[in-house]
Amino acid sequence: MASFPAVRFLDRTTPPHIVTLILVSGVGALSTSIFLPSLAHMAEHFDTSYAVMQFAVSGYLLTTAVLQIVLGSVADTFGRRPVMLASLALFVVATLGTLVAPNVGSFLAFRMMQGMAVAGIVLARAVVRDTVGQNEAASRIGYITMGMALIPMIGPMIGGALDQAFGWQASFVLLALVGGAVLALVAADQGETSRAQGGGLSAQLRHYPALLRSRRFWGYSLCAMFASGAFFALLGGASFVAGRIYGLSPLWTGIALGSPAIGYALGNFLSGRFSVRVGIDRMAMMGCAVATLGLSVSLLLTLAGNASPWVFFGFCTALGLGNGMTLPNSMAGSISVRPDLAGTASGLSGAIMTAGGAVLSVLAAGALSVETGSWPLQAIMAGSSACAGLSLLLLRGTR
């Protein structure tokens, strides 16, 4: 690992400032969540079903899963800075495309292209790992994702308010403006933190077997997949639960969707504060236990006849708290298996995480109906969080 001078904001000769890493990661988080309260209105606008429109969530996640593999490997080859800049520029172009799309097919095509924003999430983690050690990386990733937690917390609220005031398109106008501003910030503040290894993408792919044979890599990656999968399942079904089952307006749907992020901010603070002292494995396991317990209580209360939006969304704060403790540590662990391949490992583990999340998002949407109520989604989230904790058993006996 190279030695870097102290960080100076807007100085590309030093590592990028943590504010830049938070904001560039936040573009992808905002793109995932801001339009969720508008899904029903978007389906009406394009004269399609809710299930088709929901592909804007699950299809986007699948696209980002593939992109994380490619972007992480390409960034290890050609460097973090050029890949970050190109990806953000394409995100802005795609966002403008969603505003002029004449039909649902073209809208969804531009929506998939918006997945380029995932470069910010993948490469922010890799930049951190380029510059600090494993436990310190977990701490810094915790602080970065704590800042990111504010974005999905307020994103749906802003999206719901914009929808009611101006229509669903206003959320995408905001995304284009934010993407352009962050692109300018990255150009001014982020220098290069990785030495290009050369050889192209095919050369990087040859390193995958070393990662895929590692029990530690799979333990951390599967933990992240199941932990985040509970949240992605929520994204896939929460709009239906809020609007169709509990009758909430777009604004209140947005507010309710922000509930996990309240806990997520606290969980990431705890990761940033204690991961170095406690260790990443123990912090991740404690987070899985918190999420599983909270979601199980929510499920039991609903099955006992106490179903309400307060029970459903209130206990989602436990999901956020647990994931805030689990994800920074499991991510830091997965990219530390081979520090020389931090970008490739970040992309591959992120792809595993996101692909699993996309499957759970589709599963959650398909399992719900007005007749069933919210319990199938609560069961999926609780089960996924439990599987995250079980995945950490793969770490036993490894170093």
Q: Give pLDDT tens digits for 8-23.
A: 677 676 777 888 888 8
The overall average pLDDT reported for the chain is 84
Which of 149, 94, 137 is closest to 117 using CA atoms? 94
Cα dist. 368→238, 259, 317 in Å? 10, 20, 21
Instruction: Identify which has the larger pLDDT, 200 or 169.
Output: 169
Report the distance separating Cα 12 and Cα 6, nearest Å.
11
Kindly report, residue by residue over 188-218, the tens digit of the pLDDT: 988 777 765 555 566 666 777 878 888 889 9
Give the mean pLDDT of 230-245. 85
Instruction: Identify which has the larger pLDDT, 64 or 322.
Output: 322
Per-residue pLDDT at 184: 94
Report the distance separating Cα 241 and Cα 234, nearest Å.
9
The answer to whether 110 and 97 are in contact (CB under 8 A) is: yes
Q: What confidence category does residue 112 fall into, taking pLDDT thresholds of 50, 70 and 90?
A: very high
Is 338 buried (19+), middle (13-18) or exposed (0-12) by CB count in 10 A? Answer: middle
Percent of the chain clearing pLDDT 90 (strictly above): 34
Which amino acid, 99?
Answer: L
Whether residue 248 has pLDDT greater than 70: yes
Give the mean pLDDT of 369-373. 87
The tokens for 250 are 């777009």
Q: What confidence category does residue 6 fall into, taking pLDDT thresholds of 50, 70 and 90?
A: low
**What spatial distance separates the first Cα and last Cα of the chain, rounded to whole Å?**
20
Report the distance separating Cα 268 and Cα 266, nearest Å.
5
Which amino acid, 390?
Answer: L
Is 398 buried (19+), middle (13-18) or exposed (0-12) by CB count in 10 A? Answer: exposed
| Angle subtended by helix axes 80-100 and 18-33, to nearest 10 | 30
Instruction: Identify which has the larger pLDDT, 391 or 76.
Output: 391
In this prediction the pTM is 0.76
The tokens for 196 are 């290009």
Q: Select 18-395's CATH number: 1.20.140.10, 1.20.1250.20, 1.10.150.120, 1.10.760.10.
A: 1.20.1250.20
Coil, strand or helix at 369:
strand
Per-residue pLDDT at 298: 96
What residues contact residue 240 under an 8 Å CB cut-off, 6+ apart?
50, 365, 368
Burial code (b: 16+ CB inside 10 Å, e: under 16) for 203-227 equals ebeebeeebeebebbbbbbbbbbbb
Q: What confidence category does residue 46 fall into, taking pLDDT thresholds of 50, 70 and 90?
A: very high
